[in-house]
Every structure is written in C-alpha cells, then in structure tokens.
Amino acid sequence: MKYISEFRHQDLAQQLAKGIAQTVDPNRHYRLMEFCGGHTHAIFRYGVQDLMPSNVEFIHGPGCPVCVLPTGRIDNAIQLVERQDVILCTYADLMRVPATGRNSLLKAKAGGSDIRMIYSTQDALKIARENPEKQVVFFAIGFETTTPPTAVAIKQAQAERLGNFSVFCNHVLTPAAMQAILDAPQPVAIDAFLGPSHVSTVIGSQPYEIFTERYAKPIVIAGFEPLDVMQSALMLIRQLNEGRHEVENEYSRAVTRQGNQKAQALVQEVFELRPQFEWRGLGLIPDSALKLKAGYADFDAEQRFNMPAIQASDIKGCECPAILRGAKKPQDCKLLGTVCTPENPMGSCMVSSEGACAAYWSYGRLRKAG
Amino acid sequence: MVTQAIKQAGSSSKTLIKTKTMCLALPAQIVALDPATNMATASVDNVKVEVSLALVDDVALGDYVLVHVGYALNKIDEDEALKTLALFAEAGLTSSV
C-alpha cells in the first residue's frame, strides 16, 4: 500500500526510537500535546509510547469532533427525528454518543426514527433526491477537514433547488481550540504541539504561526502514521533542546503553508463564524465554530426547524471534559472499563475511535500488564 | 511486541477504507475519472471507492490523493514523501550531531 506501509516500517521505527533516545536531555521532561484524535489513535495502536524514552509524555488533545460536541446538540438531533417527516443523515461515529437520559441516535433509530448512516455528503443529497416528500437533514460535524465536503453539498443543493435538504451545522475550528487550551485559567502544562494532519491539508501550516510567536510553543505538523508521529516528536524535542519555537512541517507530502485554497474558498463562501460555541471540556469558545451564511439560510436546519439551544449535563463521574483539556488521562477515570466501554459508552471519548478513552481501551490498557 | 503491532496494523486497509471516522483520510490512487460528474474511482489496496473531485484541481489518472468522507482532499507529493522517508532513515544516524 503506497504511502501507508512504508510509513509503518518496523526497522525505521527502531531507528527513529534510537535517534530519539540519543536526542532527549535526561534532565528534562517533554510534554507533547497531540491535538488530533488521529494521533492519539496512532500512538496507542502502534505502541509509539513504548518506543519513547520515559521522559517524553504524550498529552491527548481535544481534536476528536465527536468528543467535543456538547450533549445538547445530540439532544437537538434526537428531538428533530421525533418528527415523522424527517430523515436524519449522519456519519456513523455520532450514533452511539450518549444524549440526555441515556438516549442516543442509535436508540432513537431502534425506536423507529429514520436515521441513515452515510459515508459522504453526496449520499445525503442522493437520499434527499429520492425522498422529495421528506425533510432530509444532514448532521454536519467535524473540524476543517470535514467542512469543505459539507460546503460542496450545500452549494449543490442550492444549484439543484433541492428544497427538502438542510444542514444542522456543528463544524468547529482547530486554531480556536488550541488558543482556548493555551489561554485556560489553569492551563495544562504543555511544552509543544504535534499539529493536525488532515486539518492542516486544508488550512495549511500558516494559521499555527501565531502560536509559536505569541505563546513560544514549538509546533510540528505531523502525519498520522506511526513513523510520522515519531519523527515529529523528534523534531519537537530538537526544537525544545535548542530553545527554538517554530512551525515545522513533517507532513510535507500533503500539507503546504497555504493549504487547499479551493476548499478554503468554498468554506468562506458558504459559512461564517458563530460568535461563540460550546465545546465539551473547553466550555464556550468565541469564534470557534461555523454557521451557514445568510445567502444559504434556506438550507440551515436550525432556522428551518427553529431548533432551540439546549443546555445538558454530562453523565456524573465521566472524566471526558478533563481528558479533552489534557488535564486527565483515560486511566484516571473511575468509569473506564467498569461501566464505560465501547459497547456501552458513558462519555463521547469512549465512542469515537479517535477518542482517547476508546484508544486506551482498545490498545493501551494491556501495556503495563504485558 | 511493539514492532509486531506495527506489522499487523499495516495490513488492514480493507477495514480502514470504510472506517467512518471523521478526521481520517487515506492515500488512494485514482484509477478512473468521470469529468462529466467530477467524480473518480480511487483504489487502496484494490478496494475501490467513488470520490468527488470537487475540492481539487488537475487530478490525473495514476495520481495519489488523500480521500476523506468520499472527497479527494488533495494530491500527495511524491518527492516530499521520499524526503520524509529519508529523514526517518537518517534519524538514528545523525541525532548525536
């Protein structure tokens, strides 16, 4: 598999591990936050932590879109599908996210609501064309990677005058979340960041430059394969040793400084900033999420169905919020593996395969034992 | 044990391509183009997926693209990939400098 297997090569992994071991200063501790759930997943799945010296610590970040979506937005979607005329289209990750009252979209579907799991926004358009008598709502979530495909679908729906299609928009922005973590009243100690892979293919490396300038934190844009993660960790360790703080790009095979400008232009055309948006774990963050522009308001499900703002609380004892801030690790949660498992998740971090708890439960929990 | 995990995980593209997770994208080779619909067929380890080309320009047969939720996000730069692989190989040799 080109561009996959060579980035998982075991001999090179050993080589990199040796390089990292020789580079670290034994007298200091390196706290590297991997922003993306994709990196968290790679670190656990491939045992990257075990190839690192003991003074290199990965702190798991909030870059898991399902994890940071507040419960109230799932409650909104569940209210919506109670309407007989609505077909809700969603990416599969959202189906098991716990809603208020131990509910979930999966349970709503089992109860008779018409909820379709889709792979692409093109599938949602197809369902809308095939069901003109129904209201087809796409539950749009995700970071900058996933936003352009939603923009394409909205523009296509407008061009086709697909009046029964609308979007429940929950798209959020990476730099705003990074800033919220750094500006937190009691910030988690982080020395450097592994920057997002696929978000950066869209936005480029340029938006991170402000963090190296203002907060003096090194950032390395890192690919999602295990060798990418190791190489990027090495680049961060070198920057820290040398007292540098720059944006470096390890994932240069897919990321440029400018990013995908065609995708950015589409997003600009269709969406605008919300004044603020709630993130699980991080609270209300200004300018951190997108909504449809006035010119596309006809396709905005929140307006079409007059969806209310719902305040909901997380399940008691669930440490998801602290884990998303990097303040706690999955193994610090009392619910993990007892009442909270991927089959019966209590918090969103156990639902998505990008969530830190799911990654820990699937790959990491046997580490110390084995 | 660690390297074993890397070895095993390397062979799972068939499950990966349909893994419906949000930020994951996979490198896939364009094997057919349909300019009329701006769609293409991309292949990962002989698993074929339909992808939209709405977000990219100048994609040709044989190109590798990153596929995310049914869309090609961008092309993969072969020269840059080779440079990165070379960095991996150097890491254990040059780090003490």
DSSP codes, A37-99: HHHHHHHHHTTGGGGS-TTEEEEEEEE-HHHHS-HHHHHHHHHHHTSTTEEEEE-GGGGG---
pLDDT tens column, A34-76: 999 999 999 999 999 999 999 999 999 999 999 999 999 999 9
- Region B83-97 average pLDDT: 74
Put simply, whether B97 touches A (Cβ < 8 Å) is no
- CB-nearest to A16 from B1, B73, B91 is B91
The residue ranking higher by pLDDT, A275 or A343, is: A275
Q: Is the pLDDT of residue A161 over 90?
A: yes
pLDDT at B92: 67
3-class SS of residue B53: coil
Cβ-Cβ pairs closer than 8 A, A with B, add up to 197
The encoded tokens of residue A346 equal 């209590």
- CB-nearest to B76 from A50, A227, A253 is A253
pLDDT tens column, B44-73: 888 899 999 999 999 999 999 999 999 999
Name the amino acid, one letter, at B62: G
Confidence of residue B5 (pLDDT cuts 50, 70, 90): very low
3-class SS of residue A346: coil
Q: Do A149 and B84 touch (CB under 8 A)?
A: no
Nearest to A350 by CA among A280, A267, A265: A280
Q: Do B52 and A117 touch (CB under 8 A)?
A: no
Chain B CB contacts of A3 under 8 Å are 27, 64, 76, 81
What ipTM does this complex have? 0.91
- CB-nearest to A252 from B80, B89, B95 is B80
Put simply, whether A274 touches B (Cβ < 8 Å) is no
pLDDT tens column, A122-155: 999 999 999 999 999 999 999 999 999 999 999 9
pLDDT at A188: 92
Q: Do B55 and A149 touch (CB under 8 A)?
A: yes
**Whole-angstrom distance, CA of residue A15 vs CA of residue A22:** 11
